[in-house]
Structure 1
C-alpha cells in the first residue's frame, strides 16, 4: 500500500498553526469552541455527495479532515491523545468488527455483516461495563489498580458507572438519525416486534393518541408518531434521515418549477390560486417521470 506523506505534511501544518508562535486564532481554539464546525462540515460533505459533485466532495472531505486533525492536535497539546491514537483506535475497531475479513467468521451477505457488526459492538459494550465495574470496585476499596485493556470503540473512557446502551447515541444528531440509531441499538438488545405488522399497529396506535391529545401534549404525541414511523423505515432497511432529505430535495425541485412558471407570467408563486399551484405541482411530477 502507498504511504501518505501528504497526510503527515498536513498534520505538521496544523501542529505549526497551534505552536506558540503560530496562528493566534488556531492557538485559542478548544474542543468546545469548534465543535459546531464538525457538524457543519460533515453536512456540507453530505450535500456534495447528494449532488454528485466529486470535485466539491474532494474539497469538503478536506474540510472534514481539518476538523479531525485540529481536534486531535488540541488534544495532543492538552496531553489527552494524538492523531496517531485516533488512527490506531479506529483501525483496531475496524479489524475487530470485521472478523469475517480478518478472522474466522463468515459473512455471505451485507445482512450477515450487519449482524456481526452489531454482535461485536454488544460484546464491546459488555467488556466496557465489566471494566467500569472493576474500576469502581477498586476505587471504593481505596486500592485503585489498572484494569485490563478494553476496546476503545464505543467503550469511551471509564467513568464511574457502566455505559448505558443509549449513551453512545449523540444528542447532537438530527432527531430522525437519533431515533433510528436508538431503535437499532435496543433491537440489538432484543427489544423488537415479532413482525412488521406489529410496527404498523404501533404507528396506528400513536396516530390515534396524537389525534386525541390535549393541546399541551400534542407535540410529544406527534414525536411518538414520528418515532414509530422511523421503526417502519428500519424494518424496510430505509435510512429515515436520508429518506426525508430526499423528499425535501424533491419538494424544493417541484416548488422551484411552480415559482419559475409564475415568474414567466410576471407573477409571484403566492399570487397564484391554490388550483393553479396544484396544477403546476402535478405538471412538475409528470415531468419528473419522463
Structure 2
C-alpha cells in the first residue's frame, strides 16, 4: 500500500458507503462498440470480452500485437514511464479540482498505462508475466496486509461472524488490532518489513522520484518507526551536512552556522515537511493547491494588464 496522509480534505471526496458500486453496476447496460465500428472484425475480441477490464486487455493486445498500431508496437516498459507519470499527475489534478468527468478520463489513462506495461512484460524472454498475475499478486497482498480484517482459515462462512472479524481485539500477527487509520498505517509498515525482510526503514524507497517526494517518504517512514526519536537525530548529525564554506580558510565554525546556502535551504525544507506531517498535512498536495491559486491570480492580473494596454 502506498504511504498516504490520513487527513486529506480534498474537495468532493466522499466516504465509501457500501452502496455505490452496486448502484453503478446496476446502471451499466450491455456494452456496445462505438458507432460505425459495430462490424469491425478486428474488434471482435473486444466486443466479446466478458468484462470491462477484459475489453481493455483485448484492445491493448490488438494495438500492441503485429498488425496493430506501429507506435504502440514499438513501446517498451522504459519508454512508457513518462506517460505513466504524466497520466498520474493529470489524474491528481482532476481529483484536486473536483473535475469528475476528467477524473473518469484520466483514471482510464492510468489504467491503460498499467495494462500496457503488463502487456509489454508478457514479451520478456527471461521473466514474462501478465496483468492477471499482477492482479492475483495484488489481491494476495491486500489480504496479508490486512491481518486485522481477514482471519486465515477461520472455518466459518457465516456472514455475521465474518463481519465481526474486524472488531477482534488482536490481529493474526498477535498484535492489537488497529483502531485508527494512523495505527493501521503503522501496522502496514511492520507487515511490509516482515514480508520484504527489510533491515532498514528506508528499504524500498525509490531514489528516482523527486527529492521533495523522497524527503516526505523518508520522514514518513522514520515517523512510523518505534525508534523514531533516535532516527530523527540523523537529520541533525554533522556528517549529514556539507563542510562549512569557511573551513577551507581554516576558520572554525559549527556545521550549521557555516553551512552553505543549499544545506540551509534543504534543512529548512526538511523541517517544514516534518512539521507538516506531524500536523497531518500533505505538503505536496498543499503546495499544488496553493500554486493553483497563485496561477489563477496571475492569470487575472495578466488579463487586467492586457486590458489596460489595449
Q: Secondary structure at the match of 1:100?
A: coil
Q: Give the 3-state SS of the residue equivalent to 1:265 in structure 2.
A: helix
Residue among 169, 185, 197 paired with 1:114? 185
What is the TM-score when the length of structure 2 is the normalising length? 0.63
In structure 2, which of residues 177, 202, 221 is the aligned counterpart of residue 185 of structure 1? 221
CA offsets per residue over residues 121-168 of structure 1, 9 Å max, x none?
222232xx5xxxxxxxxxxxxxxxxxxxxxxxxxxxxxxxxx754342
**Number of the residue aligned with 2:38:** none
Aligned: 1:95 with 2:123: no
Query: Is the CA contact (8 Å cut-off) linking 1:97 and 1:120 kept in structure 2?
Result: yes
Alignment of 1:1-290 (within 5 A): 5-78=51-124, 79-103=127-151, 105=171, 106-126=177-197, 165-193=201-229, 212-213=257-258, 217-266=260-309
What are structure 1's unaligned runs of at least 5 residues?
130-162, 268-290
CA shift for structure 1 position 224: 2.1
1:23 and 1:165 map into 2 onto residues whose CA distance is 44
> Alpha carbons of 1:45 and 1:166: their partners in 2 closer, same or farther (altered >3 Å)?
same
- How many residue pairs align between the two structures? 224
Deviation at 1:176, TM superposition (A): 2.2
Q: For structure 2, which runs of at least 5 residues remain unmatched after alignment?
A: 1-21, 26-48, 152-167, 172-176, 242-253
Aligned CA-pair RMSD: 3.3
Task: Identify the residue that residue 283 of structure 1 maps to in structure 2.
Answer: none
Do the aligned residues in 2 keep the contact of 1:45 with 1:57 (CA within 8 Å)?
Answer: yes
* CA deviation vs aligned residue, 1:94-136 (integer Å, no higher than 9, x gap): 111122222352333222222222221222232xx5xxxxxxx
Q: Give distance in 2, aligned partners of 1:118 and 1:27.
A: 39
Structure with more relative contact order (C-alpha pairs < 8 Å, separation 6 or more):
2
Supply the distance in 2 between the matched residues of 1:29 and 1:176 (Cα, whole angstroms): 29
Shift of 1:254: 2.8
Say if 1:118 and 1:91 are closer, same or farther in 2 by CA, change over 3 A: same
